[in-house]
Structure 1
Amino acid sequence: MEIYIIILLLIILFSVWLHHYKTKQQKTLCVQGLDNITHIKLLISAIQTHRGLSSALLNGDQSKQVVLATIEQQVKSEIKYLEEQHTLDKNGRWGSFTDHWGRLKQHDKARDADNSFKQHTQLIANLLYLLEDEAERGHLNAGSFPKLPNIGFVWRELVVTTEIIGQSRAIGTGVATSKTCSSVHKIRLSFLQQNMQKTINSTLPKLSSLDRFTGEHKALLKIAKLKMQFLSSTIERELISAEKISINQDEYFALATDSIKALDSIFNHQIEQIQQII
């Protein structure tokens, strides 16, 4: 009889240890995934900025040379940090990104504006998939965070929306620099403008928050909505429908950047809430 009691106690102790081990392992994965996602997002933002400034440069604004060099240093810093973690080594998207970025940085100033835009956009698409991979690997989902049931929208729809605005920033900056909006650019801007409106109507309202963060969450959503609506109306008025392009490229770049920053504030606020739960 005593031997059965001992065995039962050992089974209970093992079960407790196993539960503790799995909980600790889960937390480690979440923390690591969140850190990688944070730095991948910074990398995405830097590449988006580099694309927009390259658009101005390749359309004739030579003043962007110096600031582009600064952005390239930021990209280099983020790449170095992520490489030192050795957590992305097995993901083929990461190797593809670093190789592509090295080639783009070396030859970008010799490209035409459309090809530069295309190459940057491919890079960013790769990083967007990588960010989602890391969210999945780190179990950063509603199953792990039931109090944030729509957290998946942050890793997909929200970051994709910043890219929609980033593309409109790059195209619009090129148009504002060259003072010419071709029919192709008008179609692209109109498409991006429509997608911005979809985000305002569907994606933003679906984002969730912890009860004690509700007030700040609603305020951030309101700011983002207003900034995106103003950007959308500016695109229509100053770029798509304008008979003559008069808006300054730096003014337009800053306006689009304000919308991106508003969405980034929501992204960072979601990260902060996850950190509270972990």
Structure 2
Amino acid sequence: MQTPLALTIILLVVPVGFVVLLIVSLQRRRRQASKLFVQGIGYIKILRSLLTYIQQHRGLTTGFINGNSAAKQDIEALEQKIKYTMGDVAAAGEWMRNNVKWSSLVDHWSRLSVLYLQGDADKNFKQHNVLIANLLYLIDDVADVHHLTKVTGDAMDTDWRYLLSIAEYIGQARALGTGVAAKGECSSVLRIQLNHLRNKIASSIDTTWPEQSRTEIHHLLHCIETQLVVDRPSIQAADYFKLATRCIEHVLNQFDRQVDRLEYDRS
């Protein structure tokens, strides 16, 4: 018995239609994934700038509280940068504007930005640390939600996030050390904290980093050991802040390169 023409057409059209729908669906998913990825990269780059500014704010305000009154103008200029950058983050997309963690960060910053005027160095330092930790958690969320990893499982998938942790170790050492240098004395508690951070930084140095980066970070570690955690700190607050800042920039340059590579490999 011959198959009726209508049935033959159905048997041909249905599978073809299914394949077409599948192809269209896959293309749509790829476009959505690509759009999500691009948005994520944009978020990461802006948040990286915000992280840098808030870390600098922690260091400068710690120095100011401990006697470096000359930092006041730099602090005020930095607060303007933070204000504008927070506006850029919020304007970057709806996902961020509706994010609870982001809203919490904005609220925390509104209180933290004037906290240093109370003159409590320890409280100022700890509250900056909390805000920065939450900002790093938000960056992790962005990476996960926006699929900012490579399907190869390459170690590079996570290295770029780990670099932010290294920068934060140096950032904390910059803040504490700037305070010590400004005050001209290092308490036993601060010695313990600085030595702990020094060890964290030393164990994080990657032999694949450029020689200049490794040399300058080793210089920072030597400075902490010989000019800060001593009876009479012998480095100026501004000089130490600049040295530590250069070291952070070396680490963040590695971060920027890895994010650029991630973006290039996806394109």
TM-score exceeds 0.5: yes
Q: Distance in 2 between matches of 1:29 and 1:68?
A: 35
1:223-242 matches, cutoff 5 A: 223-240=212-229, 242=230
The structure having more radius of gyration, on CA atoms, is: 2
Contact persistence 2:156–2:258 (CA under 8 A): no
- How far the C-alpha of 1:4 sits from its partner, in A, is 1.4
Contact persistence 1:97–1:127 (CA under 8 A): yes
CA 1:268/1:140 → structure 2, altered by over 3 Å: closer, same or farther? same
- The corresponding residue for 2:234 is 246
- The corresponding residue for 2:3 is none
Contact persistence 2:65–2:116 (CA under 8 A): no
1:7-26 matches, cutoff 5 A: 7-26=14-33
Secondary structure of residue in 2 paired with 1:88: helix
Q: How many residue pairs align between the two structures?
A: 258
- The corresponding residue for 2:247 is 259
| Structure 2: tracts of 5 or more residues without a match | 1-7
Q: Percent identity?
A: 31
Q: Distance in 2 between matches of 1:52 and 1:252?
A: 10
Query: Is residue 150 of structure 1 aligned with residue 150 of structure 2?
Result: no
- The corresponding residue for 1:121 is 129
Q: Distance in 2 between matches of 1:222 and 1:163?
A: 21
After superposition, what is the alpha-carbon deviation per residue over 1:143-173, rounded to whole angstroms, capped at 9, x for unaligned? 2xx2844321212x21011010000000000
- How far the C-alpha of 1:226 sits from its partner, in A, is 2.2
Q: Distance in 2 between matches of 1:170 and 1:64?
A: 13
Query: Is residue 269 of structure 1 aligned with residue 231 of structure 2?
Result: no
Which of 187-196 and 87-96 deviates more? 87-96
After superposition, what is the alpha-carbon deviation per residue over 1:36-92, rounded to whole angstroms, capped at 9, x for unaligned? 111111111100000100011111111111111111011111110111222223432
1:1-278 matches, cutoff 5 A: 1-84=8-91, 85-143=93-151, 146=152, 148-155=154-161, 157-200=162-205, 204=206, 218=208, 220-240=209-229, 242-277=230-265, 278=267
Secondary structure of residue in 1 paired with 2:234: coil
The one-letter code matched in structure 2 to 1:267 is F
- How far the C-alpha of 1:188 sits from its partner, in A, is 0.3
Q: Distance in 2 between matches of 1:247 and 1:107?
A: 26
- How far the C-alpha of 1:221 sits from its partner, in A, is 4.1
CA 1:46/1:273 → structure 2, altered by over 3 Å: closer, same or farther? same
Contact persistence 2:62–2:175 (CA under 8 A): yes
Q: Which runs of 4+ in 1 moved over 4 A?
A: none
| Structure 1: tracts of 5 or more residues without a match | 206-217
After superposition, what is the alpha-carbon deviation per residue over 1:168-195, rounded to whole angstroms, capped at 9, x for unaligned? 0000000001010000000000100111
Instruction: Calculate the TM-score normalised by the size of structure 2.
Output: 0.92
- How far the C-alpha of 1:108 sits from its partner, in A, is 2.6
RMSD: 1.5
Q: Distance in 1 between matches of 2:157 and 2:245?
A: 24
